[in-house]
Structure 1
Amino acid sequence: MGVFTYEMEVTTKIPPAKMFKAFVLDGDKLIPKTVPEAIKNVALIEGDGGPGSQFNYVKHKVEALDKENFSYSYSVIEGDALMKSLEKITYEIKIASSPDGGSICKSNSKYFTVGDFEIKEEQIKGGKEKASGLFKAIEAYLLANPNAY
């Protein structure tokens, strides 16, 4: 088994508390609205959402949720995203204040591979583009709907 890690940073004009609430706390409701071509629905199968991409099925497990410090971590533990070549994928997300009153979202992703499987650079680039696109779609929604959240 190998572990491949990458980091990403995205900025937005939305303040951290508002972005965290929309992106993380209410993401199960908002994400299908903002990218319906990629995510049809999100359904909780266990718990209350405290401590569901362009795939037919993805199962997430929330690892940590810190509402005061705007941080969140979860693992993809089942589904098409694992491509039978990954044991799991973990994501750690932290949303911090930027000097202009907006936010900086920092993300750390770890891919735990099965056997000798290697992740190619273009796959990592594609994943970063999708993640950034999702973040920007939520930003666009919040800018278009300033009274939301």
Structure 2
Amino acid sequence: MGVFTYETEFTSVIPRARLFKAFILDVDNLIPKIAPQAIQGTEILQGDGGPGTIKKVTFGEGSKFGSVTHKIDGIDKDKFQYNYSLIEGDVLAEHKIEKVSYETKLVESAEGGSIVKSISNYYTIGDIEIQEEHVKAGKEKASQLFKLVEGYLLANPDDYN
């Protein structure tokens, strides 16, 4: 098994506390509302929403994949950190990946907004190497969802305060 690590960073004009509430804590409700073509819905299979919770995320009709299962590894609301792993799903099987673990942290920017820093660890099956175009495609989809959430928050200044 190999482990491949990639880092991603997004900047936003939205303060980190508000962005954390929307993009991390309520993402399961918000994304299906603003981007149903990307995510149709999320179902908790086990747990209470905290560490150890297992969720099934069903992709929208526009996706070539059906669903993926997440496991929440950790949430620290005071430090604005969220860690989770993709543990099942056709996207993993297609690319011969055992799991993908994400470590996400929101920090304040000097301008009063926030910086979302994410580290992704891809655990492959056997000697498989992660293709750069797959990582690039995943980063692009994440960036698009992030921009949708940011746009929603800008258009709805009273939400998630």
Q: How does 1:12-23 map to 2 (within 5 A)?
A: 12-23=12-23
Structure 1 residue ranges without an equivalent (≥5): none
CA distance in 1: counterparts of 2:6 and 2:99, whole angstroms:
15
CA distance in 2: counterparts of 1:17 and 1:133, whole angstroms:
21
Q: Which residue of 2 aligns with 1:144?
A: 155
CA distance in 2: counterparts of 1:32 and 1:90, whole angstroms:
22
Q: How does 1:27-106 map to 2 (within 5 A)?
A: 27-51=27-51, 52=57, 54=63, 55-84=65-94, 85-106=96-117
| Corresponding pairs, count | 149
Structure 1 residues 80-108: Cα deviation after superposition (integer angstroms, max 9, x where no partner)? 22025011000000001001111100000
Q: Which has the higher strand share?
A: 2
Tell me the TM-score normalised to structure 2 length: 0.89
Q: Using CA pairs below 8 Å that are at least 6 residues apart, which structure has the higher relative contact order? A: 1
Tell me the TM-score normalised to structure 1 length: 0.96
Q: Tell me which stretches of 4 or more aligned residues in structure 1 moved more than 6 Å.
A: none
Amino acid at match of 2:107: A
The farther-off stretch of 88-97 and 78-87 is 78-87
Q: CA deviation at 1:27?
A: 0.8
DSSP-derived class of the 2:103 partner: strand
Amino acid at match of 1:99: A
Percent identity of equivalent pairs: 57
Root-mean-square deviation (CA, aligned residues, Å) is: 1.1
CA distance in 2: counterparts of 1:81 and 1:146, whole angstroms:
35
The farther-off stretch of 136-145 and 80-89 is 80-89
Q: CA deviation at 1:18?
A: 0.4
Q: CA deviation at 1:122?
A: 1.0
Amino acid at match of 1:37: Q
DSSP-derived class of the 2:79 partner: coil
Amino acid at match of 1:120: Q
Q: Which residue of 2 aligns with 1:115?
A: 126
CA distance in 1: counterparts of 2:131 and 2:153, whole angstroms:
34
Q: How does 1:118-137 map to 2 (within 5 A)?
A: 118-137=129-148
